[in-house]
Amino acid sequence: MLAMLAAALSVHAQSISLSVDTIHHPAFDAEGIRVDINPFDHGIGDIFIKRLRSSSTEVHDLHLHCDGFRLSDNHIECPQGLLHSGKQPPIKLSFSYVFSSRVLNFTLRDVDLAHLQTLGSGILPYGASGRADLTLVAGSNHADLKLVLRGVAFNSPDGNHAGDGIAAQLTAVADRHGDGWAWQARLEWPQGELYWAPWYRKAGIRGEASGTLNSRTLDISLFRLTLDKVGSVTAALNWDRLLGKPMRWGFVTDEIDLSSAVDEWVQPWLDQLAIPKLHASGHTRLSGEWADGRLQSFFVGLENATLADGNGYLEFSAINASVPWLWNADTRAEIAVGAGRWGELPLGGFNIPATLHGDNVRMQDVSIPLLDGRLYVDRFHATRPEADWRWNFSGGIEAVSLPKISAALKIPPLSGTLTARVPDATYERSIFSLGGAMVIDVFDGRITARNLQVIEPMSRRQRFLANVEMRRLDLGMLTRTFSFGSITGRLDGEVKSLELQGWKPLSFDARFASSPGDYPRTISRGALQDISAIGGAAGAAAVKASPVSFFNTFGYDRIGIGCKLKDKVCTLEGIEPDGKGYVLVKGSGIPAVKMIGYNRNIDWNLLVTRIQAVIAGKSKAVIE
């Protein structure tokens, strides 16, 4: 509506001056307007506007100089205008306005966005630069818009939102709809790069949208976005223009490439959480709905997908999953895994039925085939009472034969069966704790692990803590398995404060010694050689035997060794001190043997190398 609250027309010797207090239009308000026309100078006109305001922008003290200016009782026209603001270079524009039909035709040609920026705050976000063409034809009931951007760059103050070299085109048409507008728009972004923390994208996006706009809300009822190499997503949004925030939004994707989606969209987000890299392939479908200040629902579907951790240690393949979630109701998720791999151990196919409800995830009776046995979960419950997730479960490992495990791991064949029960494992404050004990019956004895914990299990820095106890392992079976000479007897062991990272020990305090009790105790010449070889060529171990040269097997009373690992150095000890050394093997009967170690400290990696060499049969030690 055009309102002339006060107008004054004055005619001087060479010009006409028209003043208008206010102009109201659905798209803008203008105040303090003065139009100076020089009728003797072929249509020269100057328009001064004290304040020009749209819904998001307000500018002051504008001066528009027009060549070919026309003003009649029905229209105003400026075919070649230069808009001045302060000392900045002028902006080229043209416009016309028909009072009767209220049709505005406005054009900006090759405008420098940096100059546009200087007109006033809120015109462009983040200090944008680049060039643009704008054509707007806006009437009372219909509007057309075309915006072409070239070489656009911008940077938010915190650097989290930035673009560079962007070329894009936006076209839109709108028609009057009640007290607002119904519109359709099309976006093409063929060139440039965009960083919207934590995501980065190089062009290749096209979009079409439609919706309504009024003074209160922007409603995007349908927004179809296609991303090259990823796929398409359809979204909707309701934006409160007065509050400046979304009221609700939602999206649903087509079938999209999981590998590209993870690399481009999921991994940057995981990186911010310092979660290790995730490899994925296959296809996925996603949807989500947000309203009332929170996520209301989502759906994740996986089709023939493969997921693996960055190190390739854990992998699941042939995954087909349907995971619906609602904030305020129970949903049932079905996840089917065709096969998997845990390190070198193959996993069979399995199903995970889960119940979801808000910040609660429950599973029960999950059975994962592992060689000839299984891993199983009787019960699992995850919840998030505060900011962090907590979960607990009970389950275990059942009847996996150690020969099959050792074959899969390509280690010397072990005998026995691996069965372990986890009665109550918990995860809280970044620590995963296995309640109870894990028991493995092996080498005709028993290995028990207690106080098992995984620190920061979701990080690349996860650590494993435990106390391990070994009782009455058959030394004959043990030494045959590892080709470590030949020792008959029984072995007890304690590994206290074991701490592993990446399955390599950081520290422990370990002692191994012959078990108490009455049983045959012999040690072969080969075993003595192997123990000596582990001590190293520096004569770490001295063997006293009498008469050693004529016998291949010796009796012993006790054998034992201790290693306290810290800072990659193992501090060694035996079953008792002997002068400056320590006794590793204390003989008994005839022929008697005694082995004494003198090397107190040994580099852990060197020790491991020597043990591996001994097992491989490469030791050079000689007993004279």
User: Under the rule (CB under 8 A), what is the footprint of another protein?
Assistant: 155-160, 162-164, 193-195, 197-200, 268, 271-274, 429-430, 455-456, 459, 461, 463, 499, 501, 506-507, 566-567
Q: How far is the CB of 426 from another protein (least distance, A)?
A: 15
Q: Is 605 helix (H, G, I), strand (E, B) or coil?
A: helix
Closest to 554 (Cα-Cα) out of 614, 516, 519, 594: 594
Q: For the residues of 117-169, what is the DSSP string, one character each?
A: HTT-TTSSSTT-EEEEEEEEEE-SSEEEEEEEEEEEEEE-TTSSEEEEEEEEE
Our CB check for another protein shows the closer of 451 and 507 to be: 507
* Closer CB to another protein, 238 or 430, in the complex: 430
124-133 burial, b at 16+ Cβ within 10 Å, e below that, comes to: bebebbbbbe
173 to each of 124, 139, 176, 417, how far by Cα in Å? Answer: 22, 11, 10, 73
Q: Tell me the closest approach of the beta carbon of residue 312 to another protein, in angstroms.
A: 20
Min dist. Cβ of residue 447 to another protein (A)? 23
- Closest distance of CB 32 from another protein, Å: 37
Pick between residue 235 and residue 468 the one whose CB is nearest to another protein.
468
Please check whether residue 230 is in contact with residue 261, taking contact to mean a CB–CB distance below 8 angstroms: yes
Distance CA(486)–CA(492), nearest Å, equals 17
By the 10 Å C-beta count (0-12 exposed, 13-18 middle, 19+ buried), 328 is classed as exposed
Polymer length of the chain: 624
Instruction: List phi, psi (to 5°) of 221.
Output: -80, -25
Residue 72, token pair as written in the block: 């009649």
Q: Which residues contact 559 (CB under 8 A, 6 or more apart)?
A: 487, 489, 513, 514, 523, 575, 584, 585, 586
Closer to another protein by Cβ: residue 189 or 350: 189
Taking the least distance from each CB to another protein, the nearer of 428 and 576 is 428
Minimum separation from the CB atom of position 582 to another protein (A): 24
Q: Bridge-partner residues for 551, per DSSP?
A: none
CB of 423 to another protein, least distance (A): 24
Please classify residue 189 by burial: count the beta carbons closer than 10 Å to its beta carbon, then call 0-12 exposed, 13-18 middle and 19+ buried.
buried
Nearer to another protein, 192 or 395 (CB): 192
Residue 612 CB, shortest distance to another protein, in Å, is: 22
Q: What is the DSSP letter of 14?
A: S
In the complex, minimum distance from the CB of residue 351 to another protein, in angstroms, rounded to a whole number = 34
- Indicate the residue among 271 and 424 with the shorter CB distance to another protein: 271
Nearer of residues 278 and 339 to another protein, judged by Cβ:
278
For the chain, how big is the Rg over CA atoms in Å? 40
Residue 336 or residue 500: which is nearer to another protein going by CB?
500
In angstroms, give the least distance from the CB of 380 to another protein.
25
Helix (H, G, I), strand (E, B) or coil at 489: coil
Angle at 16 between CA 26 and CA 28, to 5 degrees: 10
Identity of the residue, 330 or 456, whose beta carbon is nearer to another protein in the bound complex: 456
Nearer to another protein by Cβ, of 193 and 444: the residue is 193
Distance CA 415, CA 403 (A): 5
Token readout for 216 is 């209160």
Task: Please give the full DSSP string across 306-330, using - where no structure is assigned.
Answer: EEEETTSSEEEEEEEEEEEEETTB-
Shortest distance, position 271 Cβ to another protein, whole Å: 4
Which residues contact residue 520 at a Cβ distance below 8 angstroms, ignoring those fewer than 6 apart? 488, 489
Minimum distance from residue 431 beta carbon to another protein (Å): 8
Expressed in percent and rounded to 5, the helix, strand and coil fractions of the chain are: 10, 65, 25
For another protein, the closer of residues 193 and 289 by Cβ is 193
Q: Which is nearer to another protein, 200 or 519 (CB)?
A: 200
Give the whole-angstrom CA distance, residue 556 versus residue 550.
17
Of 145, 137, 460, the closest CA to residue 274 belongs to 460
CB of 496 to another protein, least distance (A): 14
Q: How far apart are CA 506 and CA 606, in angstroms?
A: 15
DSSP state of 271: H
CB 274 to another protein: min, Å? 4
Closest to another protein by CB, 441 vs 499, is 499
Shortest distance (Å) from residue 422 CB to another protein = 22
Q: Report d(CA 528, CA 521) in Å as an integer.
A: 14
Give which of 94, 31, 20, 22 is closest to 59, Cα–Cα.
Answer: 31
Comparing CB distances to another protein, the nearer of 236 and 431 is 431
> Quick check: 22 and 51 in contact, CB under 8 A?
no
Alpha carbon distance, N-terminus to C-terminus of the chain: 114
CB of 249 to another protein, least distance (A): 25
